[in-house]
Amino acid sequence: MTRHLAELNIGRLLAPTDDPRVAEFMNALDLINGMGKRMPGFVWMMEGSGEPGTGNTETKIGGDPQFVSNLTVWESVETLENFVWNTVHRQFYERRQEWFEVMDKMHFVMWWIEPGHKPTLDEALEKLDHLNRFGDSEEAFGWSYLKEARLWRSRSCRGDAA
């Protein structure tokens, strides 16, 4: 049976979501998320309130209003890579240091799920914790673990910012 790829990306904004310092990022959320939902291979995204320009920023991690998350499911590594590296998403990814604090541990994790499963934020945070404690494994992994990940190898940004 074919598995789907779940991914969680978290970050802590440099300022509250209504602060001008993060306005460009906040104003692009609907565009980027909408594009992702229309991409071939997109399966599911954890949604926020649906209010324009908020993305999923209401979902707090540890009660911190500046911690934001993105949780999606894709049909394959290749379809996720295509969105990340071959669309305008890459431009925002490359500029993330303008809006987000540099984190002292991994903030991105992927794992395989059965088709139809919609992971919860708690489940995803457990996967991220597993990756941070034990490193890449079949349970939870980053781009470098996936031999299918080709675009990441040639188009990714600095290693210290990933």
The pLDDT of residue 158: 44
Query: What CA–CA distance (Å, rounded) separates 3 from 111?
Result: 10
The pLDDT of residue 152: 72
Taking only the tens place, the pLDDT of each residue in 51-85 is: 555 555 556 788 888 888 999 999 999 999 999 99
Let me know if 57 is exposed, middle or buried by CB neighbors in 10 A (0-12, 13-18, 19+).
buried
Cα angle: 93, vertex 76, 136; to 5 degrees: 70
pTM of the model: 0.87
Domains, the chain, in order of start with CATH, read 4-161 (3.30.70.100)
To the nearest whole number, what is the mean pLDDT of the chain?
A: 87
Cβ(76)–Cβ(110) below 8 Å: no
The pLDDT of residue 123: 96
